[in-house]
Amino acid sequence: MASTINYLTDIAILLAAAVIAVPLFQSMRMGAVPGCVARALGVNL
């Protein structure tokens, strides 16, 4: 059961980071791809 909770928590963190990073990068006219890369780097650090 604890493994499932950790898995769902990881998914929620990744989705929240995507919701924040992608629009931020799009507003700077950099596109969605750099936003996704920045999100991945930020979450993995």
Q: Where are the domains of the chain?
A: 2-44
Whole-number pLDDT of residue 24: 80
- Render pLDDT for 1-45 as a digit per residue (tens, 0 to 9): 567 778 888 888 878 877 887 788 778 888 777 777 777 777 665
| Phi and psi based region of residue 31 (left: phi greater than 0; alpha: psi -120 to 50; beta: remaining) | left
Number of Cβ atoms within 10 Å of the Cβ of 25:
19
Whole-number pLDDT of residue 43: 67
Sign of CA dihedral 23, 25, 30, 35: negative
Rounded distance between C-alpha atoms, residue 8 and residue 22, angstroms? 21
Whole-number pLDDT of residue 12: 86
Whole-number pLDDT of residue 44: 66
DSSP 8-state class, residue 28: T
